[in-house]
Structure 1
């Protein structure tokens, strides 16, 4: 569910709104393209997931890599969310958004010693350790600071998440985690090393998972490992079950399982461990809470194809190109019943054949100047944006009721150029 709906506009006709804010008015004020996030949707999705674990000792750690906008992070922090980070930059963002360090978990296969030191000094809850070399580096770093790092080893269960191969993380050939069969030996090593305290187990098998069976298989293995570790005198008191529950990108396909169904599965498989439960939902909370608004530049009619050229491009939303992802596209001005439809590719201005938002999409006939909304763009949208073709990063807007705020302004070209430096020998000579 989301809070983007058509409402009667000024002067007649229905206009797509973000909560109580007209997207047409927002486009006139902010310019296009821009990302827009709905506070009401973020809050609802967080609460629905949290409610699935009511009564349990659970920490909902939003996966910051899905959406690192400060306004989004602060909105979730006010609801009591913890955060899952994968870099020092993300850690600094969540601290700036008001998240308490003891509610932060640090994931990722390539943490540096400097990142570890910063996180240790801030007092985060735990590190999810992904390899023996990382374990040794963390031990050395913590010992040098006179601190102790609470850790969970991320264990790779070799479970197929049945998702896109680029977002599967729980197979043996994926770079994530330590092999299941080596886990006990690595826990023994962790117990022998100074500066680390092995108290948890972490398992995350992928993203956009639309079937509960892979979770069931992975959690059964996790429970088996916790039982084995405890029988070997390890005091395991928390488990991190990762994230990955999918969201509906298409209204014409069956919806993924609900958080309540996922919550029941968790209780059935690991609910009797007596552990604190950590979760890392990202897409589930943010995806349908955000859209990308763009304006039609031209409609280019070719012999085999029609192209609707818009001012948003693959550098703004790379998911269709990177993952062959499908995003619904809604005209901001609601089409009249029976409005003529055309099939076209919705493409951007970037000089790449792969620069598209939709292929062979049936849409109401659009004209230059019309606005469109690319739906379900709140996760892995703005965070993956770039300045390819020297295009400016697009602004991000947070809506709450009838209010809105630009939480990341559109930069100027001068800002982009000022971030770089010419060597002295290449500086242009000043003319007299």
Structure 2
């Protein structure tokens, strides 16, 4: 469920007409719903009622400071994958003891900043990373709390580019051989082994892969405890998918996910961490764009809009589907025409949809890309020297720009030309 609905024929973000936002900030722009973000976080939090747990928002899905601040105020922890995300979380008021540091390529400098600033745990991905973290912690006279990320070799049944839990993926330590690494970690002066981490991929629409992975983690927990490790925390990652196509069967609900977590690892008495990103922020955002032209081609029509692949790269990168709807609702029974919806960037890949049924639209009409709150603005670029687009946060009947569109001058002046040219 989200809070983007038609009222009197006009799409609203909560109680604000999307046309009003477009008039104020121009297009294209992202708009996020406070009510949807809040609801989705609470669904996960309530799904783990009865277990000691922390819901850590995966900042890689949406790292706008206002969104982070909102999540932190709701009691969320943060899952970060770079020191930039860590510093964003801290700047938004999230304490270090609610920040989990993931990622396969943490540098010694990043480790040092996190240890000095406070960290809940590092999810360690490799033996070289473990050695480096121990050296940094010893140099600071502290112990670094860690969970080793284990790779359970489970097929997440998702897009190949967002699957992370098979043996051929770059992530984690093979679960079959991780006991030796845990033994080594337990002997290190700068390391405090607190738990196990697992994350098998993103946009999962079935619970079976999770259950297979978590069952393996439960067995590993018993084994490691028998080896003398005080395993007291399980980080189960994120990955639960969202319905990008409204006509498709909905993925499992957070409550169903929570029941599966309790069934597979609830008997272990561990604190549970989960790291949802997309399911919290995905359906909480839309991308709004204006039609530039309707171009009639040979055998097909092109709806050319002012958003482009640099603003929303998912369709180009993943062949991802986003429902695209007119902001002013089409009348019932109006004739639909198949159109390719494309952007103005000089790339054939700048295509959002092919053969999509759309009502007649013309220059200046607004369209909204649904489910664009995750992996939208965070993956945007200034390709073709197009400024990053604004982000807007809506709450009830008010809205605020939470990241402004830079001017062309600001964008150009970030470059510098050496005197010798």
TM-score of the pair, normalised by structure 1:
0.97
1:358 Cα shift? 1.2
User: Is residue 2:161 matched to residue 1:166?
Assistant: yes
Give the match for residue 384 of structure 2.
Answer: 389
1:39 Cα shift? 0.1
Give the match for residue 429 of structure 1.
Answer: none
Given that 2:122 and 2:145 are in contact with CA atoms closer than 8 Å, whether structure 1 keeps it comes out as yes
Q: What CA distance in whole angstroms lies between the structure 2 residues aligned with 1:49 and 1:156? A: 24
Give the match for residue 209 of structure 2.
Answer: 214
1:245 Cα shift? 0.6
1:356 Cα shift? 1.3
The one of 75, 81, 88 equivalent to 2:83 is 88
RMSD: 0.6
The one of 354, 378, 384 equivalent to 1:359 is 354
Give the match for residue 397 of structure 2.
Answer: 402
Runs of at least 5 residues in structure 1 that lack an aligned partner in the other structure: 9-13, 427-432
Q: What CA distance in whole angstroms lies between the structure 2 residues aligned with 1:360 and 1:353? A: 15
1:382 Cα shift? 0.3
Q: What CA distance in whole angstroms lies between the structure 2 residues aligned with 1:216 and 1:337? A: 44
User: What's the secondary structure of 2:267's corresponding residue?
Assistant: coil
Give the match for residue 5 of structure 1.
Answer: 5
Runs of 4+ in structure 1 off by over 2 angstroms are: none
1:321 Cα shift? 0.6
Q: What CA distance in whole angstroms lies between the structure 1 residues aligned with 2:325 and 2:346? A: 25
Give the match for residue 19 of structure 1.
Answer: 14
Q: What CA distance in whole angstroms lies between the structure 1 residues aligned with 2:291 and 2:361? A: 8
Aligned residue runs from structure 1 range 172-191, under 5 A: 172-191=167-186
Aligned residue pair count: 421
Give the match for residue 321 of structure 1.
Answer: 316
Q: What CA distance in whole angstroms lies between the structure 2 residues aligned with 1:50 and 1:310? A: 38
Q: What CA distance in whole angstroms lies between the structure 1 residues aligned with 2:389 and 2:13? A: 18
Aligned residue runs from structure 1 range 303-318, under 5 A: 303-318=298-313
Q: What CA distance in whole angstroms lies between the structure 2 residues aligned with 1:340 and 1:99? A: 51
Given that 2:242 and 2:278 are in contact with CA atoms closer than 8 Å, whether structure 1 keeps it comes out as yes
1:147 Cα shift? 1.3
Q: What CA distance in whole angstroms lies between the structure 1 residues aligned with 2:413 and 2:110? A: 27
The one of 16, 25, 30 equivalent to 1:30 is 25
Q: What CA distance in whole angstroms lies between the structure 1 residues aligned with 2:229 and 2:315? A: 45
Q: What CA distance in whole angstroms lies between the structure 2 residues aligned with 1:266 and 1:55? A: 12
Given that 2:30 and 2:285 are in contact with CA atoms closer than 8 Å, whether structure 1 keeps it comes out as yes
Give the match for residue 142 of structure 1.
Answer: 137
User: Is residue 2:32 matched to residue 1:63?
Assistant: no
User: Is residue 2:41 matched to residue 1:41?
Assistant: no
1:275 Cα shift? 0.4
